[in-house]
Homo-oligomer: A and B are copies of this chain.
Amino acid sequence: MPSDDDPPSVEPATWFGPARTDGSLLVAPIHGVGEVREGDDLAELLARHAGAGGLLDGDVLVVTQKIVSKAEGRIVPFDAADPGAKQRIVEAESVRIVRRRGDLIIAETKHGFICANAGIDLSNVAAGTAALLPEDPDRSARRIREGLLHRHGIAVGVVVSDTFGRTWRRGVTDVAIGIAGVAGVVDLRGTPDATGRVLEATEVCVADEIAAAAELVMGKDKGVPAAVVRGVDPRWLRPASVKREIVRPPGEDLFR
């Protein structure tokens, strides 16, 4: 009979081999992680569930905000029956309310993110609680990366992802709220395009694109909290920060 110390049965994300050389990308969900609790070591937990070969040098590991917040104890009581509860918790997590319409609050968080409800999440957490964003999601990503590097000898990029709406488009997509070891924005300015002409301005936010790709395999209703992206351009694997690279400073934006 299995004891509580046995690792749970795992369906490992090990089906694929080394990165292909044709520029292809492989995106695999990490199954079987189960419920995450405060104090859990995510690097250990995800390495175990990815299985042997499920995480290799040069991979990017995408981890949803929800399990990062749970592991870091960023869970607070939330009474859904109290009509003012949501507003109070959102205001406490915001530096500014950007727009409000009915129940919808678009707020700027302490991190500089502009998103619905200051990123506070009421789904996939225990009843009577809500999950706040990590205090410093770049640091959260760095900790997971360093755990894998120092204890397993695997050098991966890490993206902490969350689900944000967009100003002009319906539907939410996953974006990067914290990164480590994988670029935020890749600057292709000055790179000749395929016709040899120098590109005007093409700064691609590859971290957000990686988060979006991972969301496609994680889904919202499947309980899969992490994914492995294999085959990203090795030039993107470098020290990085969402705060420095992706958050648009107020002076640059046109709509605040």
Contact = CB atoms under 8 A, between A and B. Distances in A.
A238 to B, nearest CB: 15
A154 interface: no
Interface string A173-199: 111000000001110100111110101
A101 B256 CA distance: 14
Given A25-B216, A27-B24, A28-B22, A170 B199 contact: no
Interface residues of A, number: 78
B27 A205 contact: no
A221 B246 contact: no
Most chain-B Cβ atoms within 10 A of its Cβ — which of A113, A206, A216, A222?
Answer: A216
Interface string A147-191: 000000000000000010011111111110000000011101001
Contacts of A215: 204, 209
Given A27-B24, A195-B124, A195-B126, A204 B166 contact: no
Contacts of A220: 188, 191, 193, 199, 202, 204
A136 interface: no
Contact of A209 (B15, B23, B25, B213): B213
B202 A123 contact: yes
B27 A25 contact: yes
A223 interface: yes
Given A24-B26, A194-B223, 4 more contacts: A22-B28, A25-B28, A114-B167, A122-B200
